[in-house]
A = this chain, B = another copy of it.
Amino acid sequence: MSGSNGYKTKQRDTILKYMTDHKDSHVTVNGISDYLTGQGTHVGTATIYRHLERLVEQGLVRKYTVDSSTGACFQYAEPDRECHEHFHLKCEKCGRLIHLECSRVKELASHIFSEHGFAVDPLRTVFYGICRECSESNASSDNDTRKENPDNE
């Protein structure tokens, strides 16, 4: 347990600011790097990885792994309200990652815990299926949108 969070550097502030500015969506290391480079505030990839890893350890950032062939997703976790738990829907057709902020899902997690003794981890749990757009366009023709980079809304 190290009491210090490390030095306060410009890169640390830059990354943390980016995370808090995008706390409503999940981001990738590539996305962060590209954005910062575009802003003229280039930060090395290794530095981003190292900071993100530390932030995850500190509980300030959550790490999602949707697919093993794509990269990891990160999202800022507000330290105030830990109840900010939502689940993710992953469309197997277009690869989109949808945030599901729904009380019913949280109720189910509570039910599974109280009745079945299983503590569901929202961080790891992803619902796989077909999203509305894809299921509508699926009936007519085949859209062969392979699984690839998730968008960033």
One complex includes copies of this chain to the number of 2
* Distance, CA A108 to CA B98, complexed state (A): 16
Which residue numbers of A lie inside 8 Å of B, CB to CB?
A: 65-72, 89, 91-92, 98, 100, 102, 104-105, 108, 111-112, 115-121, 123-132, 135
Partner of A112, one of B68, B71, B91, B127: B127
| A120: nearest chain-B partner, CB-CB | B129
Asked if B89 contacts A116 (CB within 8 A), the reply is yes
Partner of A127, one of B67, B125, B129: B125
Question: Given A91-B118, A98-B118, A118-B131, 4 other A-B contacts at CB below 8 A?
Answer: A65-B66, A98-B116, A117-B132, A118-B127
* Distance, CA A111 to CA B115, complexed state (A): 20
* Distance, CA A118 to CA B21, complexed state (A): 27
